A = this chain, B = another copy of it.
Amino acid sequence: MNANKRKIINDPVLGFITIPSDLLYDLIQHPYFQRLNRIKQLGLTSLVYPGTQHTRFQHSLGSMHLMDECLTQLRVKGVEITEEETEGALAAILLHDIGHGPFSHVLEDSIVQDIKHEELSLMLIQEINTELNGLLATAIAIFTNTYPKRFLHQLVSGQLDMDRLDYLVRDSFYSGVVEGSVGADRIIKMLHVANDSLVVETKGIYSIENFLIARRLMYWQVYLHKTALAGERMLVNILTRAKQLTRKGESLFASPALTYFLTNRANKALFESTPEVLKQFTLLDDADITCAIKVWVNHPDLILSTLSEHFINRKLFKVKISSTQFSEDEITTVQNKFINTFSISAEEASYFFSYITLTNDTYNEKNDNIKILFNDGSTKDISDVSDILNTKVLAQNVHKYFLCYMPL
């Protein structure tokens, strides 16, 4: 290995991270990957947990490190994994988040449309692959689940993938919500492969139960914390208003890249037909949004300036939560207040509040199951093995309804 590329990175969460190969070093140095150092992992969660300033860069490195440890463990247990597969799996997990935009879950609702960050990740990985003359072929096959050894894909994207293990440990560490930690080390030591499928050895059952409950705690206590959600809804409304004004021809301060997305309707079709969109996308990060909104505080548009000023100075929407739908009446009452107070139209009033439904599967779109491996070689789903976890709840989605509005 090239001596200049043999680097060790200090990670406060996982300790020293060794860069495993020249290829991985080059990927980390790539401008698309360096961009992740300017995108916070948890977006607006720092409104509630000020410690959560960590970036997708760190998370991606951490996931790669756990993948490295996991593959080593599996090989010790006799699972056959070639050098090429190792590098492929490491590259796939390193780059899995490369398509994230600033405040990503927000952006998917406002700046871009009908396209998910996973699709953008794949487009970018393919572009890098072209630059590298095909060195990422195995990584792409693993990432897209077309590689014959399916368990490698599960390690990149599955119920117990290295992505999740890293983000649960990391987000718990940085938020200070210590109960959210999941013993990634121990879980990795208990992973195995049976019938080309990732499984957990029996003695790992309690760790898995704990993992599922810790994840649930992190969702409701951190990821879906109402104050962070309030901030996100404000951000969506601000960006939607900015797009509306831009398209009406008003002039708004913004970086060229952000202007591009305020002006154009960046949906999947456009990304596929127009290479320029992806190019512009790679220029965006958290700074474009923050910088613009600070300037919009002084914009003549009442809606844009009010929301921007409140957002920047942390005067957040109030939130009402319910486990059942809010009635039309309740929502209309809120809307009318803004119509009357500001003498604005119903459409304009709609920027001052937001009504959304959340399900805990917001972060849970991975539908394969966690399988337990018994000593006789048979496997069972964790929901059939664990007596304490309510299997129906594990299968179901929990819905919560949030009505957020600017306090008057």
Name which residue of chain B comes closest to A213, CB basis.
B213
A290 in the interface (beta carbon within 8 A): yes
Name which residue of chain B comes closest to A323, CB basis.
B387
A389 in the interface (beta carbon within 8 A): yes
Per the 8 Å Cβ criterion, residues 64-111 of A in contact with B are none
A37 and B46 alpha carbons, distance in the complex (Å)? 9
A201 in the interface (beta carbon within 8 A): no
CB atoms of A54 and B51 under 8 A apart: yes
Which B residues are in CB contact (< 8 Å) with A294? 255, 257, 283, 285, 287-288
* Interface of A, helix, strand, loop or mixed by DSSP: helix
Partner of A51, one of B11, B217, B256, B283: B11
Partner of A286, one of B49, B173, B287, B390: B287
A216 and B291 alpha carbons, distance in the complex (Å)? 36
CB atoms of A179 and B176 under 8 A apart: no
Which B residues are in CB contact (< 8 Å) with A206? 216-217, 220-221
Name which residue of chain B comes closest to A293, CB basis.
B287
CB distance from A225 to the nearest CB of B (A): 10
Name which residue of chain B comes closest to A392, CB basis.
B387
A387 and B393 alpha carbons, distance in the complex (Å)? 7
Which B residues are in CB contact (< 8 Å) with A40? 53
A342 in the interface (beta carbon within 8 A): no
Per the 8 Å Cβ criterion, residues 150-202 of A in contact with B are 173-179, 181-183, 185-186, 189
A124 in the interface (beta carbon within 8 A): no
A388 in the interface (beta carbon within 8 A): yes
CB atoms of A255 and B256 under 8 A apart: no
Partner of A291, one of B174, B185, B287, B388: B287
A16 and B31 alpha carbons, distance in the complex (Å)? 36
CB atoms of A10 and B213 under 8 A apart: no
CB distance from A398 to the nearest CB of B (A): 7
Name which residue of chain B comes closest to A46, CB basis.
B37
A123 and B186 alpha carbons, distance in the complex (Å)? 39
A379 in the interface (beta carbon within 8 A): no
What are 13 of the A-B contact pairs (CB < 8 Å)? A11-B50, A11-B176, A12-B51, A53-B54, A53-B55, A177-B186, A210-B214, A213-B213, A283-B294, A287-B291, A387-B393, A388-B389, A388-B393
| A interface with B by C-beta (< 8 Å) | 8-13, 15-16, 29, 31, 34, 37-38, 40, 46, 49-51, 53-55, 57-58, 61, 173-179, 181-183, 185-186, 189, 206-207, 209-211, 213-214, 216-217, 220-221, 253, 255-257, 283, 285-288, 290-292, 294-295, 312-314, 387-390, 393-394, 398
Closest 8 pairs between A and B when the two form their complex, measured CB to CB:
A179-B183, A291-B291, A287-B290, A10-B176, A53-B53, A12-B176, A206-B217, A287-B287
Extra inter-chain contacts (20) besides given A12-B175, A290-B291, A389-B390, CB under 8 Å: A10-B175, A11-B51, A12-B173, A16-B189, A29-B314, A37-B50, A40-B53, A50-B57, A50-B58, A51-B54, A179-B210, A206-B216, A207-B221, A210-B214, A210-B217, A213-B388, A255-B291, A287-B294, A388-B389, A388-B394
